[in-house]
A = this chain, B = another copy of it.
Amino acid sequence: MNIKEIAKLANVSVATVSRVINKDSKVKSATKEKVESIMKQFKYTPNSHAIRLSKGVKDKTIGLIVPDVGNILFSEMVETICSRAEKENITILLCNTNGDYEKEKKFIKLLMEYRVKGVIYIPGKYVSQKNYSFLNEIRKQNIPIVFLDRKIEGFDFDGVFLDNYEISYNLTKTLLKIKTKKIYFISGALEISSAYDRFLGFKNAIEQNNNFETTYEIKYGDFKFNSGYELGEEILKNHKDEELTIYVANNTMALGFFKILKKYSKNFKKVIIGIFGTSEILDLLLEDQKYVTCKVQNKEIAEKSFEILLKKIENPDLQNENKKYILYNSTIINKLD
């Protein structure tokens, strides 16, 4: 149903219909009502592209692909990007993927169709069996894309990340200052690049810094509260020693771990905790603990990713320049004594 058909049905010209739509000029109220009733009857809604094309409106929109806006880590990134975008009069199409491959693919295609000016992409898991060629397609369209926080192997795009490996390595090294037989590692899914790099940093730090005196055991979680709680319980209920050393790969799981730790804490004389990332609340909870942590610069990397994207949007000639991978390091916060 388009304006022409409405016009015909109402026995008026398209111009009149257009006027009615836009509550514009002086249309006789009789005709106005007739047109409106026809529009209603046929559930007509004007085509936004036609309107905007004829009005000469161009718009700057970018796509923002996020695993889970409900997660405070990402929502802070989204907020940062929104605020910067607003200043540039750039509008944001928000795509929440749940970390799901199919949705990521669907959204990328959608954004291409929308002809967005650029994309900031926080992937979920990278599954090597899956086909990520949709990333090639978007490149062919010359739409700049910047990875944020997590990467997909094998694609040469710009990206801004935490230096997960390095930070985790240093954090573990600090943790090892307290001699322990064993460290439990509560990990995120290793298909997520950040989780993998954190694990790798942890593993290498152990292997390179203690002559293998310390062993470790890894538990696979999903970066969420409950998995910290549940994996924590698995560990706590089976651990007989009065000393416990544990490394939790993100702060949300750490909160879950704390919840269960409270229940079991009487069993342990000494609990040492390493946590990748902290937060105001975590600090509160950790007050009486011995722990090692670091600040996660999520807002900073989000902002940086936007700046890079902006530059690419404004200078399409840079599009095929060398891609930038930027890593943000972070100082270790040592509260071991």
Contacts and interface: CB of A to CB of B under 8 A. Distances in A.
A23 B136 CA distance: 12
B75 A72 contact: yes
B70 A79 contact: yes
A94 B94 contact: yes
Interface in A168-225: 225
Interface stretch (A108-116, A151-159, A266-274): A108-116
A53 interface: yes
A235 interface: no
Contacts of A75: 69-72, 75, 78
A305 B95 CA distance: 19
Interface string A42-66: 0101111111110001110100100
Contacts of A96: 78-79, 82-83, 86
Nearest to A68: B79
A240 interface: no
A262 interface: yes
Interface in A1-35: 23
A69 B72 contact: no
Contacts of A150: none
B114 A48 contact: yes
Contact of A93 (B43, B50, B92, B225): B92
A91 interface: yes
Interface string A284-319: 110100000000000000000000000000011100
A103 interface: yes
A98 B84 CA distance: 12
A145 interface: no
A40 B117 contact: no
A95 B69 CA distance: 14
Nearest to A58: B47
Nearest to A259: B284
A80 B78 CA distance: 15
A78 B82 contact: no
17 contacts: A40-B317, A47-B58, A48-B49, A51-B115, A57-B113, A59-B114, A64-B94, A69-B82, A71-B75, A72-B75, A82-B94, A82-B96, A83-B98, A255-B281, A262-B284, A281-B281, A284-B285
